[in-house]
Amino acid sequence: MIAKTAPCKLVLADDHTLFRSGLRTLLDARDNFSVIGEASDGAEFLALLEKEAPDVALLDIAMPGMDGIEAAARAVGRYPNLKIITLSMFGEEEYYFKMVSIGVKGFLLKNSDIREVEDAIAAVMEGGTYFSRELLFNLVSNLKSSAETGPESELSERELEILLLICKGLSNQEIGDRLFISKRTVDKHRANILAKTNCKNTANLVVYAIKHRLVEI
């Protein structure tokens, strides 16, 4: 007999009650999720963490009082194993630098469908990171050409091309198909990009692209 996997324990922190309630209803309808608490601001969120031990927190950036940035920083400092996924709206991209440096694992737009929310939770539970594809497209909408990156860029023209596609959320296979090269070649380029930029994952690569003016917000 196969043992049943325990559901992923979630907490939701958002000041909009209707949005929070709707999201909880959708998540609780899934057998693999269990929402164990809700908060309407950062202070409530931190108080909730003292009572509950969630696997993943879905945390709004813009909340009254203590916002999601401060709440995330405090939460990660106290509970390093907690995985936080940020909920945001278009126009809040300026905060992503801080959230990535704090240790947030995922970024979802509030207009994401429930399937993407599930994908994000699954990705961070497996030890990875997740960026909403729509968000990534928005972040890289003003990508500069490689000629404008300046002499400080250590990436080759091909690596810059692949970095853009990584930032757009494409998998290595999809990048290979787009550029007419093998997935294995993309794997090698990706490894070189990570080494040259000293990045560990996609979230860090997006931040690198923005900081080095490959992307404008």
Give the pLDDT confidence score for residue 149 in this predicted structure: 47
- CA torsion 65-67-73-77 (nearest 10°) is 50
Beta bridge partners of 8: 33
Q: What is the pLDDT along the chain (217 residues), one digit of tens a residue?
A: 444 578 999 999 999 999 999 999 999 999 999 999 999 999 999 999 999 999 999 999 989 899 999 999 999 999 999 999 999 886 666 777 788 888 899 999 998 999 999 999 998 998 888 888 777 766 666 555 444 444 456 888 899 889 888 877 788 999 999 999 999 999 999 999 999 988 877 777 877 787 777 765 4
Question: Chain centroid to CA 21: how far?
Answer: 22
**pTM (2 d.p.):** 0.74
> What is the CATH number for 147?
1.10.10.10
Give the pLDDT confidence score for residue 118 in this predicted structure: 94
Give the pLDDT confidence score for residue 4 in this predicted structure: 58
Which of 118, 135, 152 is at the close of a domain?
135
- 167 shares a domain with 102: no
Give the pLDDT confidence score for residue 6 in this predicted structure: 85
- What is the domain extent for residue 68? 8-135
Q: Is residue 162 part of a domain?
A: yes
- 107 shares a domain with 158: no
- 128 shares a domain with 28: yes
Which of 105, 135, 165 is at the close of a domain?
135
Give the pLDDT confidence score for residue 69 in this predicted structure: 93
Q: What are phi and psi of 145, to 5 degrees?
A: -75, 160
Which of 79, 101, 135 is at the close of a domain?
135
**In 79-156, which ranges are continuous DSSP H helix?**
96-102, 114-125, 133-139
Q: How many CB atoms lie within 10 A of CB 76?
A: 18
> Strand order in 83-88's β-sheet?
33-39, 8-13, 56-60, 83-88, 106-109, 130-131
Give the pLDDT confidence score for residue 89 in this predicted structure: 83
Q: Is residue 66 part of a domain?
A: yes
